[in-house]
Amino acid sequence: MPIPPLSTSNYRSPDWLVDTVHLDIALHPTATRSVAKLKIRRNPAGKAGAPLRLDGDGLTLVRVAVDGAPLAGGAYEATPSSLILPAPARDAFTLEVETLLEPTSNTQLMGLYRSNGTYCTQCEPEGFRRITYFPDRTDVLAVYTTRI
């Protein structure tokens, strides 16, 4: 499905910012496990009381935690294409998201995939959302660390 074009006249600052991302990836051809720890804070220029909306693309969610405490199913909404926390209780917190990926069956050549037995990644412009839920926009900048 084509993504509709974005216009600068429709630009709005993100409601939430991500300062750091720590990825822990356990590779497996059909069941790669990704654990992302995101340090998130409310954007002072964003809309007060806005939910946290993260983009995904074909993800299988395993677990969600805030500041180390697992969230109950009613505390968030998850689909393969989005993760929404309707009312985060704090203005700054660490969100931990665990997802399962299937690199061998990923034929879009975006996110994490296998090609001729080699693991590859393509995260720009919107491939990162195929690895973990993330506010996948060019104005949400973070410092990344990764362990594979």
Question: Is 54 domain-assigned?
Answer: yes
Question: Is 3 domain-assigned?
Answer: no
Q: Are 142 and 20 in contact (CB under 8 A)?
A: yes
32 has a pLDDT exceeding 80: yes
Average pLDDT of span 122-135: 93
Question: Is 69 domain-assigned?
Answer: yes
Instruction: State what percent of residues in the chain have pLDDT above 70.
Output: 97
Give the chain's domain count: 1
pTM across the whole model: 0.91
Question: Is 7 domain-assigned?
Answer: no
Question: Is 8 domain-assigned?
Answer: no
Question: Is 4 domain-assigned?
Answer: no
3-state SS record for 75-114 = HCEEECCEEEECCCCCCEEEEEEEEEECHHHCCCCCEEEE
Average pLDDT of span 55-64: 96
Query: Is the model more confident about 5 or about 19?
Result: 19
The CATH number of the domain where 91 resides is what?
2.60.40.1730
Q: Which pLDDT does position 7 carry in this prediction?
A: 74
Question: Is 6 domain-assigned?
Answer: no
Question: Is 100 domain-assigned?
Answer: yes
Range of the domain at 130: 13-145
